[in-house]
Homo-oligomer: A and B are copies of this chain.
Amino acid sequence: MAENGFQGALTYIYDPAILLRLTSFQAEYKNGVTPLNPGETLKLRPLCLEDYDKGYLQLLSQLTSVGDVTREQFEDRFNKMKACDDTYYVTVIEDTTSKQVIGSATLVKEQKFIHRSTARARVEDVVVNDSYRGKQLGKVLVDVLVSLGRELGCYKVSLECKDHNVKFYTIFGFEAGKGQNYMQIRFFD
């Protein structure tokens, strides 16, 4: 265990030290939960290469279709994301008792030429294990990602969400883009 509370032997997808620099959070919490300490046996941290064995893909399958992804494919994808510097902030919560990843959300940073060649960021793939609902963990994950977006110098953070989640995202300051439309073409599932 390194001094900052993150295990030095693990391969993190981004430097966990940045999480300790986050200070501005938006949501209110009950029962002593804080964004960086979401629960007694719960640890918030970057995704690790080792999480293939901690149910990470099974967790994602509660969100959408994942399909068969071998360990080799997972590691290849992880390493490609990590090689893309300053881009994939995949953030998870592990239950250290069961050694299972039980929550995940990703901030993806997109570099721009516009807006003084800064960047924008997006909240993607927010999921909390069914058995851990009602513990404010979705709130924790999104709050951390928005704070991270600010810390990383992004001029905005955006997301796409279903109608029933709009109210939830207003907690953090997200506003529906007036006259803005989301459109897509889907090639396969």
Contacts and interface: CB of A to CB of B under 8 A. Distances in A.
Contacts of A185: 146, 149, 156-158, 172-175
A87 interface: yes
Given A64-B114, A68-B116, A117-B69, A156 B182 contact: no
Nearest to A115: B65
A165 B117 CA distance: 25
Contacts of A181: 160-163, 165-166, 176, 182
A155 B160 CA distance: 16
Interface in A78-105: 80-81, 83-88
A183 B158 contact: yes
The number of times this chain is found in the oligomer is 2
A114 to B, nearest CB: 5
A180 B155 contact: no
Contacts of A86: 80
B85 A80 contact: yes
Nearest to A52: B113
Contacts of A125: 112-114
Contacts of A169: 183
A21 interface: no
A110 interface: yes
A154 interface: yes
25 contacts: A57-B113, A60-B113, A60-B114, A64-B114, A65-B114, A66-B115, A68-B116, A69-B117, A74-B117, A77-B113, A87-B87, A88-B111, A114-B125, A146-B185, A150-B187, A155-B188, A158-B160, A158-B182, A161-B181, A163-B179, A169-B183, A173-B185, A174-B184, A175-B185, A177-B184
